């Protein structure tokens, strides 16, 4: 799942009535400024082994009283801890914020700070329709080289972490031959493949200044002797062999260019791909972590010429036009995702693709607000829930409502035969939501989950007129409601990490939830 719900300014609840969410957005920069300052001061490197406030103040030449307030904030953010008078790094800081550690992310974090001036020009960009803040026209070659080097090191931090999430998709395939890394940057993604597949070699294709930095970074890694460098502007003709590559990588390239430019890049990539090769696309997509993706799209708007984030469906359509077969969107555990394409669907079948992840992507595309995997045992089925249908609901006695729905005991028995389910979030109208749930169940069945069974929200609203005889005439499309089957929807939703509130007034925002059992 995406981590969009952790920080308060990312937790938008449409049922919230107060202004707290707006306050949290307005103060979001407090969090980033605290992190930027701590990284610039290199506090985390100093803290290895533990230090007192007095030792930190002396080591960094800081005012102790002010430092103690700052350390309190870092503790509140979970970046450091305190035992008695000694401060120490938490696990995340020890791994990612200590200079010299393999997974150090400090360069990437400070690059984000350099993007801030572009955001200050957002209103001007909206009036003009594009970027208005540009690099200084008198920037000399040395300054340009320094900026490229800083950017390359920042992106190297990110790519080293991302490739560790990408490699498992290929763990059942013995890759060999040639990699073409298009717009390679630091080359970290290719290097990750080279370190895991001795039969691979790589060509990094990027601007000469970028490749110079890549050479410096890759010189520290053991695979550098299996890497060749191809200086080129990737928007111009590629000086490489057609149909010559077993793996072509476009990592964080798609978001940097316009629709026309991306279409041309995909055409070149398809021409260079071997018959049994893979085209690996790694990027931001609106379909995965949509809040982060939308803001990243704005970041491209204010800081690049043509960059933008694309929906996965748009990119898959462009790949299909190149006679390639794309996978569904494959979300990473972080904020980006993959699409892998090939010239034959049989070749893609060798990828290690979790069937539930692929199903979630397809179901999300149907139009649900969220699709959350959940252990079946996490669904709470008490004895009292169906009583709210018997006492207090005028639909009691109708087809597929109590007493014509599974009892809590029967529902618990059904759920014991499953280990997985998906929690589906949607919104009214009731009939439209229920039809979406039916489509989700059908997608699951077609994907091989033969025991797929849906429970939805509210009394059945599939038919315009319900059968007056008391027995359903459309059993094919009817399903039991969660509440009517004894499921405590509020507790189940809470266990899944979502919020749900009772409605106090007419006009309050309504959320619908359904459950899709899988096995």
Q: Is residue 2 part of a domain?
A: no
Helix, strand and coil in the chain, % to nearest 5 = 45, 15, 40
Same domain, residue pair 318 and 384: no
* Domain's final residue, options 315, 332, 353: 353
Same domain, residue pair 300 and 375: no
Same domain, residue pair 234 and 309: yes
Structural domain harbouring 85: 8-103
DSSP 122-183: HHHHHHHTS------TT--HHHHHHHHHHHHHHHHHHHHHHHHHHGGGGTTS---EEEEEET
Provide CB contacts within 8 A for 291, sequence distance 6+: 4, 10, 12
* Domain's final residue, options 323, 353, 383: 353
| pLDDT tens digit sequence for 433-466 | 999 999 999 999 999 999 999 999 988 888 888 7
3-state secondary structure of 116: helix
How many CB atoms neighbour CB 423 within 10 A? 23
Structure letter (DSSP) for residue 383 = S
Is residue 2's pLDDT more than 60?
no
Q: Is residue 445 part of a domain?
A: yes
Taking each helix axis from N to C end, the angle separating 355-365 and 430-446, rounded to the nearest 10 degrees, works out to 150
Same domain, residue pair 39 and 179: no
Q: Is residue 131 part of a domain?
A: no
Same domain, residue pair 30 and 56: yes
Q: Is residue 278 part of a domain?
A: yes
Same domain, residue pair 75 and 178: no
* Domain's final residue, options 353, 382, 413: 353
Residue 514 CA: distances (Å) to CA of 294, 330, 365: 27, 23, 16
Contact 70, 124 (CB under 8 A): no
CA 232 from chain center: how many Å? 31
Is residue 338's pLDDT more than 80?
yes
Provide CB contacts within 8 A for 68, sequence distance 6+: 53
Q: Is residue 12 part of a domain?
A: yes
3-state secondary structure of 461: coil
| CA 324 – CA 341 distance, rounded (Å) | 6
Walk across the sheet containing 420-426 and list its strands: 370-375, 420-426, 512-518, 453-455
pLDDT score for 66: 97
Same domain, residue pair 393 and 489: yes
| pLDDT tens digit sequence for 380-411 | 999 998 788 888 787 787 766 777 789 999 99
3-state secondary structure of 338: strand
pLDDT score for 124: 96
pLDDT score for 4: 41
The domain total for the chain is 3
| CA 334 – CA 354 distance, rounded (Å) | 16
Q: Rg (Cα) of the chain, in Å, rounded? A: 27
| Segments in 447-503 forming alpha helices (H) | 489-495
| pLDDT tens digit sequence for 158-209 | 999 999 999 999 999 999 999 999 999 999 999 999 999 999 999 999 999 9
Q: Is residue 117 part of a domain?
A: no
DSSP 271-318: HHEEEEEEEEEEE-BTTSSHHHHHHHHHHHHHHSSS---B-HHHHHHH
Query: At 92, which CATH number?
Result: 1.10.10.10
* DSSP element (H, E) containing 204: strand 200-206
Same domain, residue pair 167 and 285: yes
Contact 482, 424 (CB under 8 A): no
Query: At 310, which CATH number?
Result: 3.40.50.150
Interior angle at CA 15, CA 460 and CA 122, nearest 5: 125
pLDDT score for 1: 35
The encoded tokens of residue 221 equal 């890694």
Same domain, residue pair 349 and 381: no
The encoded tokens of residue 421 equal 């389910």
| CA 335 – CA 139 distance, rounded (Å) | 33
Is residue 42's pLDDT more than 80?
yes
Bridge partners (DSSP) of residue 224 are: none
Same domain, residue pair 286 and 253: yes
Same domain, residue pair 274 and 419: no
Is residue 257's pLDDT more than 90?
yes
pLDDT score for 139: 74
Is residue 413's pLDDT more than 70?
yes
Q: Is residue 429 part of a domain?
A: yes
Same domain, residue pair 169 and 258: yes
Q: Is residue 370 part of a domain?
A: yes
pLDDT band at 149 (very low <50, low <70, confident <90, very high): confident
3-state secondary structure of 424: strand
């Amino acid at each position: 799942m995406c981590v969009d719900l952790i920080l308060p300014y990312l937790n938008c609840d449409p049922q919230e009535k107060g202004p707290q969410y707006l306050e949290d957005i307005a103060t979001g920069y407090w969090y980033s400024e605290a992190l930027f300052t701590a990284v610039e001061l290199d506090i985390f490197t100093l803290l290895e082994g533990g230090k007192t406030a007095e030792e930190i103040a002396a080591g960094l030449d800081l005012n102790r009283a002010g430092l103690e307030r700052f350390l309190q904030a870092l503790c509140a953010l979970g970046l450091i801890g305190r035992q008695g008078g000694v401060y120490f790094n938490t696990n995340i800081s020890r791994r990612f914020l200590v200079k010299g550690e393999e997974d150090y992310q400090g360069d990437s974090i400070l690059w984000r700070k350099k993007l801030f001036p572009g955001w200050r020009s957002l209103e001007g960009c909206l009036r003009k329709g594009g970027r208005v803040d540009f690099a200084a026209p008198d920037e000399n070659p040395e300054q340009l080289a320094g900026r490229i080097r800083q950017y390359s090191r920042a992106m190297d931090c990110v790519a080293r972490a991302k490739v560790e999430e990408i490699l498992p998709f290929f763990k059942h395939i013995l890759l060999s031959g040639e990699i073409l890394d298009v717009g390679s940057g630091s080359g970290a993604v290719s290097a990750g493949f080279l370190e895991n597949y001795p039969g691979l070699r790589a060509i990094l294709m990027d601007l000469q200044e970028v490749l110079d930095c890549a050479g410096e970074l890759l010189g520290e890694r053991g695979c550098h002797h299996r890497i060749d460098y191809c200086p080129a502007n990737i928007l111009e003709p590629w000086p490489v062999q057609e149909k010559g590559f077993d793996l072509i990588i476009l990592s964080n390239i798609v978001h940097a260019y316009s629709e026309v430019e991306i279409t041309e890049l995909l055409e070149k990539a398809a021409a260079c791909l071997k018959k049994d090769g893979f085209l690996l696309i790694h990027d931001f997509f609106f379909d995965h972590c949509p809040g982060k993706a939308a803001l990243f799209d704005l970041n491209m708007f204010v800081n690049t010429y043509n960059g933008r984030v694309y929906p996965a469906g748009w990119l898959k359509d462009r790949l299909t036009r190149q006679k390639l077969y794309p996978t569904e969107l494959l979300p990473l555990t972080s904020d980006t995702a993959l699409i892998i394409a090939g010239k034959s669907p049989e070749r893609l079948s060798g990828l290690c693709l979790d069937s539930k992840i692929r199903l979630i992507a397809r179901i999300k595309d149907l139009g649900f607000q969220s699709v959350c995997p959940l252990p079946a045992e996490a669904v709470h089925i008490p004895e009292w829930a169906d009583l709210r249908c018997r006492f207090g609901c005028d639909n009691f006695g109708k087809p597929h409502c109590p007493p014509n729905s599974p009892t809590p005991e029967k529902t618990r028995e059904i759920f014991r035969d499953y280990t997985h389910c998906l929690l589906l979030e949607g919104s009214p109208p009731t009939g439209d939501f229920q039809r979406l749930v039916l489509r989700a169940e059908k997608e699951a069945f077609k994907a091989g989950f033969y025991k797929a069974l849906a429970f939805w929200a509210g009394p059945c609203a599939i038919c315009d007129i319900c059968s007056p005889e008391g027995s359903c005439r459309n059993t094919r499309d009817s399903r039991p409601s969660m509440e009517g089957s004894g499921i405590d929807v509020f507790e189940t939703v809470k266990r899944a990490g979502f919020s749900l509130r009772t409605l106090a007034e007419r006009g309050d925002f309504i959320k619908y939830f359904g459950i899709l059992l899988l096995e």
